[in-house]
Amino acid sequence: MKRRMQRIVGAAAFAAALGIGWGMDFAGGGDIVVDRMQLVEREALLTEIAKVEAEVTLARDLTALHGAVAAFADVEQATAAGYAPSSECMAGNLGAQGIHYAKDVLFEPSVALETPQLLMYEPRADGSLRFIGVEYLVFQQAWHDAGHVGRPTLLGQTFGLNETLLDEPFYLLHVWIGQFNPSGTFANWNPLVACGDAASGGHGEVLGILP
């Protein structure tokens, strides 16, 4: 976050040097005549500002998500809130997803940042479960029957489509909010997560996943 703020401050200073106001609409032109190089610099700056703003928004939303599900690090809190086991520990060639806990009342044709449909846990050798992330899941037919045209989006990501795992196709998005994932915050599989005795002991908490 400190690095992002430094980039924002630097971009703002550069903007001031070029006479660019934050939020200014350049499409309408103006009285100031600038040369081609200055226009190129302005476009590059605006692109950088948009990128930084998107990163800050993502960091803010991930922090909000973490706060919403923090209590579910204790699986008993998750079950008390209505989540129940819905899968065995899932693993593949690219890593694992752990055990999924689902909350049936959340399976509606909508997505909300702070109420994921599934929680993911990694089984430990002592039989306990370690919270590693969340999954958003919406059934394809129900989503489009509700009037949506494209796929769901959240956290700047477009949901993937799985047509084989369940009885009907569904859209999904994994968010590794409790466990760092070298494959990416939104990757389907995490190579640092395992099932059985090979389960990891943890490789990073929420702040570790932020870019």
DSSP state letters, 40-78: HHHHHHHHHHHHHHHHHHHHHHHHHHHHHHGGGGSHHHH
Could you read off the pLDDT of 184-201 as tens digits, one per residue?
999 999 999 999 754 444
Could you read off the pLDDT of 124-183 as tens digits, one per residue?
999 999 999 999 999 999 999 999 999 999 999 999 999 999 999 999 999 999 999 999
**pLDDT in the model for residue 210:** 30
Give the alpha-carbon dihedral of 7, 8, 12, 14, to 10 degrees.
20
The C-alpha angle with vertex 117 and arms to 116 and 122, in degrees rounded to 5, equals 85
Query: Which residues, including other chains, have CB under 8 Å from residue 41's CB and lie 6 or more apart?
Result: 18
**pLDDT in the model for residue 193:** 97
What are all long-range contacts of 87-92, with beta carbons under 8 Å and residues at least 24 apart? 89/122, 89/123, 89/195, 89/196, 90/195, 91/194, 91/195, 92/189
Residue 82 sits in the same domain as residue 64? no
Residue 50 sits in the same domain as residue 150? no
Domain termination residue (choose one: 18, 37, 69): 69
Give the domain extent around 56: 2-69
The secondary structure element, H or E, covering residue 140 is helix 140-145
**pLDDT in the model for residue 3:** 56
Could you read off the pLDDT of 106-138 as tens digits, one per residue?
999 999 999 999 999 999 999 999 999 999 999
- DSSP 8-state secondary structure symbol assigned to residue 93: T
Q: What are phi and psi of 152, to 5 degrees?
A: -65, 155
**pLDDT in the model for residue 22:** 41
Number of domains in the chain: 2
Residue 45 sits in the same domain as residue 89? no
Q: Of 131, 4, 134, whose CA–CA distance to 57 is shortest?
A: 4
Of the pLDDT bands very low, low, confident and very high (cuts 50, 70, 90), residue 6 is: low
CA distance 107 to 109: 7
Query: Which residues, including other chains, have CB under 8 Å from residue 57's CB and lie 6 or more apart?
Result: 156
Could you read off the pLDDT of 32-84 as tens digits, one per residue?
555 777 787 888 888 888 888 989 999 999 999 999 999 999 999 999 999 99
**pLDDT in the model for residue 45:** 85
Q: Of 76, 101, 80, 71, whose CA–CA distance to 89 is shortest?
A: 101
Residue 63 sits in the same domain as residue 80? no
The secondary structure element, H or E, covering residue 121 is strand 118-123
Residue 95 sits in the same domain as residue 187? yes
**pLDDT in the model for residue 29:** 52
Of the pLDDT bands very low, low, confident and very high (cuts 50, 70, 90), residue 7 is: low
**pTM of this prediction?**
0.75
Residue 77 sits in the same domain as residue 104? yes
Mean pLDDT of the region 94-116: 97
Residue 203 has pLDDT above 60, yes or no: no
